[in-house]
Amino acid sequence: MTLVDLAAALPLAIWTYLLLFRGRFWAPQELPRSVREVRAKVIAVVPARDEAATIGRAVRSLLGQDVPLRVIVVDDGSTDGTADVARAGAVAAGAAGRLTVLQGAPLQQGWTGKLWAMSQGVVAATRFDPDYLLFTDADIEHDPRTIAALVAYAEERRLDMASLMVRLSTATLAERCLIPAFVFFFLKLYPPRWIACARSKVAGAAGGCILIRPEALERAGGLAAIRGRIIDDCALAGAVKASGGSLWLGLTRSTRSLRIYGSFGEIGAMISRTAFNQLRHSWWVLGGTLLGLLIAYLAPVLLVGAREPAAACAAAAWTLMTLCYLPMVRFYRLSPLHALLLPAVALFYAAATVHSAVRFALGKGGQWKGRAQDVRVQDGV
């Protein structure tokens, strides 16, 4: 076997493993619909910083749920009238009495802005003695049946924490090219079946919609236990699972994100904010990740025109890659031809990851709502 043959056989082996032995990540479970009546008391906590463009619709959707819930919006230093828009949304829903708007306290040292806002919402929620807390974002529009179905599923499966990967926007060309891959890569890293398995250490969640029992949150050390984590949803899932809690992560078509990324650059910046943090700021892990991306995603394309048997192995690897990605493309109701573009998309994500590492090395980190996150300091992170 020549070096070229080996280079073509390796991605074939990788995609065979991913297709057959990676927890069927490419076919994640969607939230089943429920017809049973839900009587649990749910308090939604919504951290919001300059979200006037979307929070009105988010609040209306929460207050219009089949299960009546209270909503606590924590206004994290907004300058665009976020609080007033949230109140107007509650009035439009005919449920102003079920909305509480808190003016967030100044950010405490050691906390990320989002988690600090969420922690204040949790404190406010305790006086209502909830059966569940719902952590959701100010740019998520919930289908009226979603929360009742999620609570019913959590009670049926006796889950401590259940989260939904909401349907992200594919309104723009950049989103149609890159967003399905974002979900695909996330699920490959955190296979939902492994998340749900008590024997597996894999723990993940989608921060746009997290339902959690208050006692499970307390058992995990509360939000203070993860107060400085940038990827807070997966950090929370890890803390809950480490404390003996049961998890579930699924997809939903009906609840969706209102945030629109108008350009490739905007999506690149979104990826760059957390990519190097995900790699634990390790240059060795970065190098291994880039090498893995080259072998798994680019080698099949580069070697498909080589001599046999390398060409056959490369074609087979590209075929398996496409088959793995196709269910996600269909989930977003895009042309199957999009599945063939995954190698080019992976190259884009690799570039965004390198950009994330460079910004970290320069002490700039990622920018979000006027705050720098994940910034390198002289004596550590």
Q: What is the pLDDT of residue 372?
A: 65
Q: Are residues 203 and 352 in the same domain?
A: no
Mean pLDDT of the chain: 93
Q: What is the pLDDT of residue 35?
A: 64
3-state secondary structure of 89: helix
Is 313 domain-assigned?
yes
Q: Are residues 141 and 251 in the same domain?
A: yes
Instruction: Pick out the chain residues at pLDDT < 70.
Output: 1, 35, 366-372, 374-381
Query: H/E element holding 164?
Result: strand 161-167
Question: What CATH number should be reported for the domain holding residue 220?
Answer: 3.90.550.10
3-state secondary structure of 350: helix
Go through 315-328 and write b for each residue having 16 or more CB atoms within 10 A of its CB, e for each that does not.
bbbbebbbebbbbb
Q: Are residues 52 and 73 in the same domain?
A: yes
Q: What is the pLDDT of residue 182?
A: 97
Q: What is the pLDDT of residue 379?
A: 42
Q: What is the β-pairing status of strands 140-141 and 247-257?
A: antiparallel
Q: What is the pLDDT of residue 306?
A: 81
Q: Are residues 329 and 196 in the same domain?
A: no
- Closest to 342 (Cα-Cα) out of 358, 325, 356, 328: 325
Give the residue numbers spanning the domain of 52: 42-257
Compute the distance between CA of residue 15 and CA of residue 317 in angstroms, rounded to an integer. Answer: 6
How many domains are contained in the chain? Answer: 2
- Closest to 58 (Cα-Cα) out of 101, 16, 110: 101
Q: How many residues does the chain have?
A: 381
Q: Which of 257, 274, 297 is the last residue of a domain?
A: 257
Could you give the angle at which helices 283-293 and 342-361 cross, rounded to 10 degrees? Answer: 170
Q: What is the pLDDT of residue 378?
A: 45
Q: What is the pLDDT of residue 129?
A: 95
Q: Are residues 15 and 83 in the same domain?
A: no
Q: Are residues 123 and 248 in the same domain?
A: yes
- Other Cβ atoms within 10 Å of 183 Cβ, number: 19
Q: Which of 228, 257, 286 is the last residue of a domain?
A: 257
Q: What's the Cα-to-Cα distance from 96 to each of 48, 54, 60, 88, rounded to whole Å?
A: 18, 18, 10, 8
The DSSP secondary structure of 92-104, one letter per residue, reads HTT-GGGEEEEEP
Q: What's the Cα-to-Cα distance from 156 to each of 77, 150, 153, 181, rounded to whole Å?
A: 39, 10, 5, 31
CB 338 within 8 A of CB 322: no
Is 237 domain-assigned?
yes
Contacts for 113 with CB less than 8 Å, ≥ 6 apart: 47, 49, 76, 107, 368, 369, 371
Question: What value, to the nearest 5°, has the Cα angle with vertex 361 and ends 356 and 366?
Answer: 40
Q: Token match 């192995």: residue? A: 313
Q: State whether the Cα torsion 285-288-293-294 is positive or negative.
A: positive
Q: Are residues 247 and 279 in the same domain?
A: no
- Closest to 213 (Cα-Cα) out of 146, 121, 130: 130
